[in-house]
Structure 1
């Protein structure tokens, strides 16, 4: 085992170093930060359980870097894996020192002040669960190993279908790198699994509380980002404009439900600090987070998320009522909330209800979304049928089409469903330039696809744009500079380029972009900007080069305008038309990627996790109800949205799933002493 952990630590560190040194913006800084992070995790492994969920929303700079298949969050995960696995190796090599540290950290999980202890109820009063805990854990380990093998096979099938291994950091959704992008979350969690299991055995209380604290911190970051986005764009109380919050999830540049899945996983944990607050100040902070998180949930206008939150609320209410009844019947002396806190909780419940009624009552967007549910469901059924139609033979049904192959296969094989645009890097004798390809159907209102690059804000005055264009047919390009968070532009300076085409000669253009009305005075917040270039037609393909954007002060705003560094700094986004990128179901995306085998293994793991958590809930485990509510909310939301094709959210899902599978049903009562026992290190570090 020591050799395996050492090899995995070296592999994780090498991959992380390769990513950091290849970063388009900060290679040296990230390499140094990675080294520090590895050392910190090696010294205190429990830290990563708090840090990873907390930084998950922040560690994604794809709109600035142009990377889609790899992002900064991968560095955090790989660095944590390298540091934690190195710690396990050191514990095996020098066990005495680490055993003494473990003895100080050992102890049961639970908060006697709140729940009366995990095992405060007599075992005879608890219903027996199917299979013993040890048997369930062994079964979960086997299922995880099989799922990892299925995922590896799916990656291989996907890359072969895409033309071979990845060759570029900037590959997109139809390229081989997308196969690894979709599958990497499971492998990142598996790299951290030895450390996770060790922490759950030896430091159950601190590890689970770190996970809860990190999750709450990540939720707070997303809630504040959603508040800022609403203030900066449609307005805090504007619930009529068709604007759906995306927060910090750049993955939603082609639609999807990254925010929905993240909120479904994290919202249940917002209840815990409200119930555990011991002072009015801490309760007020927790209540404010609950209000902001509810606002972010409502302004996503996601009906699937609303379903998931309803499931989570039902789980938490039932768990709270059951625990209260069981604790009372067992005479465990369960702590009663102070009267001020009981009243404050009732006030908070009223505020949350009023918040829901406010969003539903004074705006038309939510009512229109709810009213169109039946029509949209019919369209979603059609979309699902088209996705299932990709499984053409027995091999596809059993093993799937391959990881990350849905966008390419769906766009190529379903008539009328092709992507609205593509990017092509072209290397010729005179240098490298970019090709923009539009859709074959001429329906601008159906979908909009644009090439993007972040530009500094604030945006004001006029701009001078230069570019070279080559096309065989006449082409119309629309260039703009906009206040834009991700999908929705608030105020733009825009102009049109008409290229007559023909001759295969480059034509140079210079034009001015003049902004119209700016942002309303009530919404003058720091808003990022995008330079945008989109192809309207009639040409289906144009080549562009030598892009330059000069502001009123004479400053160059665009980087890599000649594409000599590939697509570094360039991004893209779609609007209104997202069918080619997502099948809109967690279950169908797993079926299409990994077939019946992969889907069955995932469902087995989820069932085992739910069974384990139900047993812990009966024993009044402090965090089991929140983990159970999070997983069930995500599975309910996943009926109508994709989850696993968004790596950061998929990582959190797999992390919660593994915690639910391997969290100890009983606290660690003692740690073996190294004296007189050669097996003490093995007993301590066995995973």
Structure 2
């Protein structure tokens, strides 16, 4: 497949264009998210966007990782003489800068600076090497464009800097650094102490399970499980570090609803289930109905019903409003265990707004979200690779990056695409120092694609045509 990709110049064109189309779609959705939940220029609320990354339901730096890998491709539109390339590049660049600001990610900010400098330096090196064929103005074009963009981005940051969130984020740099270092050390201490683990790790995707069982941070994450009893499925929730099992529903403002569900305490003790109905993004809640149900002091299934008036939850202005989610939360006590079944939310017409409320199809239509991201992420790609794949994984990743670096540096004087790929890998590496970027399979695939293209010999026939 890679051989066919390398031999077809249009494949590289499609890939470069696809990167920009994907970036444009993500940026458009991120701007819409800001409009719906906070407003475009509101930077005083601690709201961090997630855009199209549902994988961020446990936190993580997925959106800034994607931006680090994709923003450098805008450089191709700036550099090549495409009729519509300049305006498109400006729109993508300024929108991308705005969305990056709205992530409030310190690692993302640093990655942006690093990859921007790498891209400008690389393209400047290319134009200098082509000096015989260009005027002196053309040779300094990348540097001039870069300086102009830096000035505009600096002006864009003024509203964000005036907000409280960015100042608070940077005021806790040293505190968060200490937390992350302890977290990395805890990850290493949780690993099995044998040669096989040291060389091949604990297994891909094993970190959350291992953290749940062995962490030294005095955290007991909440958990869930689909249980089966006499061929009948139900949901079992356990309390602990906040975990909400939620489903988005079509609730309208100022309407009456009836909530019904079956609950059971396996030990026959009274337990309390919180059922917030909130206007909610993936991670942040607004304007909630705080509902709860408590079981009686007896064993066996108990049916509970609540009559609800939605008040302002689900209010829409001009047909646009925040999405509404019903969530199930067992509380913060790790000893709390609740079995849940036959959840229904009936509207005034008798329609059940919940899908798969009996969990007969597992967790279809349901998705959990957490408040604390540390139990789910090791927060560093090198720690992550070492934990999951051992020294063999660390060495392999290092060799891949070094090989790509050597290949791109060797082509930077005659292939402007090399600067774009080098910039993307530089930004990814910076974000990866503070986030475990490989937790999202889509981002892992994208990173490996960038590595693969970097290692391919593009050939003289297609030089300069990936984004042309």
TM above 0.5: yes
User: Does 2:185 match 1:385?
Assistant: yes
Give TM-score scaled by structure 1 length: 0.63
Superimposed CA distance per residue, residues 140-184 of structure 1 (whole angstroms, 9 cap, x where no aligned partner)? xxxxxxxxxxxxxxxxxxxxxxxxxxxxxxxxxxxxxxxxxxxxx
Query: For the residues of structure 2 that align with 1:197 and 1:300, how far apart are their CA atoms?
Result: 38
Alignment of 1:321-470 (within 5 A): 321-328=124-131, 331-333=132-134, 348-360=149-161, 362-391=162-191, 392-429=193-230, 431-439=232-240, 447-456=241-250, 461-470=255-264
Closer/same/farther in 2, CA of residues 352 and 460 from structure 1, 3 Å limit: farther
Offset, 1:659: 0.8
Offset, 1:275: 3.3
Query: For the residues of structure 1 that align with 2:350 and 2:148, how far apart are their CA atoms?
Result: 55
Residue number in structure 2 paired with 1:605: 400
Closer/same/farther in 2, CA of residues 664 and 556 from structure 1, 3 Å limit: same
- Choose from 56, 67, 74 the match for 1:263: 67
Closer/same/farther in 2, CA of residues 334 and 624 from structure 1, 3 Å limit: farther
Closer/same/farther in 2, CA of residues 594 and 327 from structure 1, 3 Å limit: same
2:212, 2:221 within 8 Å by CA — same for their partners in 1?
Answer: no
Query: For the residues of structure 1 that align with 2:359 and 2:107, how far apart are their CA atoms?
Result: 40
1:475, 1:537 within 8 Å by CA — same for their partners in 2?
Answer: no
Q: CA RMSD in A?
A: 2.7
Closer/same/farther in 2, CA of residues 558 and 586 from structure 1, 3 Å limit: same
Offset, 1:241: 0.7
Closer/same/farther in 2, CA of residues 272 and 527 from structure 1, 3 Å limit: farther
Q: Which moved more, 1:509-518 or 1:464-473?
A: 509-518
Residue number in structure 1 paired with 2:466: none
Residue number in structure 2 paired with 1:218: 22
Q: How many residue pairs get matched?
A: 459
Residue number in structure 1 paired with 2:454: 660
Residue number in structure 2 paired with 1:198: 4
Query: For the residues of structure 1 that align with 2:388 and 2:145, how far apart are their CA atoms?
Result: 48
Closer/same/farther in 2, CA of residues 296 and 613 from structure 1, 3 Å limit: same
2:120, 2:146 within 8 Å by CA — same for their partners in 1?
Answer: no
Query: For the residues of structure 1 that align with 2:318 and 2:135, how far apart are their CA atoms?
Result: 49
Offset, 1:462: 3.4
User: Does 2:275 match 1:479?
Assistant: yes
Give TM-score scaled by structure 2 length: 0.91
Query: For the residues of structure 2 that align with 1:263 and 1:283, how far apart are their CA atoms?
Result: 20
- Choose from 331, 338, 341 the match for 1:545: 341
Residue number in structure 2 paired with 1:308: 111
Offset, 1:415: 3.6
2:277, 2:291 within 8 Å by CA — same for their partners in 1?
Answer: no
SS in structure 1 at match of 2:339: strand
Residue number in structure 2 paired with 1:290: 93
Query: For the residues of structure 2 that align with 1:378 and 1:229, how far apart are their CA atoms?
Result: 32
User: Does 2:288 match 1:492?
Assistant: yes
Closer/same/farther in 2, CA of residues 627 and 460 from structure 1, 3 Å limit: farther
Query: For the residues of structure 1 that align with 2:259 and 2:383, how far apart are their CA atoms?
Result: 45
- Choose from 44, 47, 58 the match for 1:240: 44
Query: For the residues of structure 2 that align with 1:246 and 1:616, how far apart are their CA atoms?
Result: 35
- Choose from 623, 626, 631 the match for 2:417: 623
Offset, 1:630: 0.2
User: Does 2:32 match 1:228?
Assistant: yes
Offset, 1:417: 4.7
Superimposed CA distance per residue, residues 54-82 of structure 1 (whole angstroms, 9 cap, x where no aligned partner)? xxxxxxxxxxxxxxxxxxxxxxxxxxxxx
Q: Which moved more, 1:405-414 or 1:454-463?
A: 454-463
Residue number in structure 2 paired with 1:559: 355
Residue number in structure 2 paired with 1:254: 58
2:253, 2:312 within 8 Å by CA — same for their partners in 1?
Answer: no
- Choose from 263, 275, 286 the match for 2:79: 275
1:467, 1:544 within 8 Å by CA — same for their partners in 2?
Answer: yes
User: Does 2:302 match 1:507?
Assistant: yes
Closer/same/farther in 2, CA of residues 644 and 459 from structure 1, 3 Å limit: farther
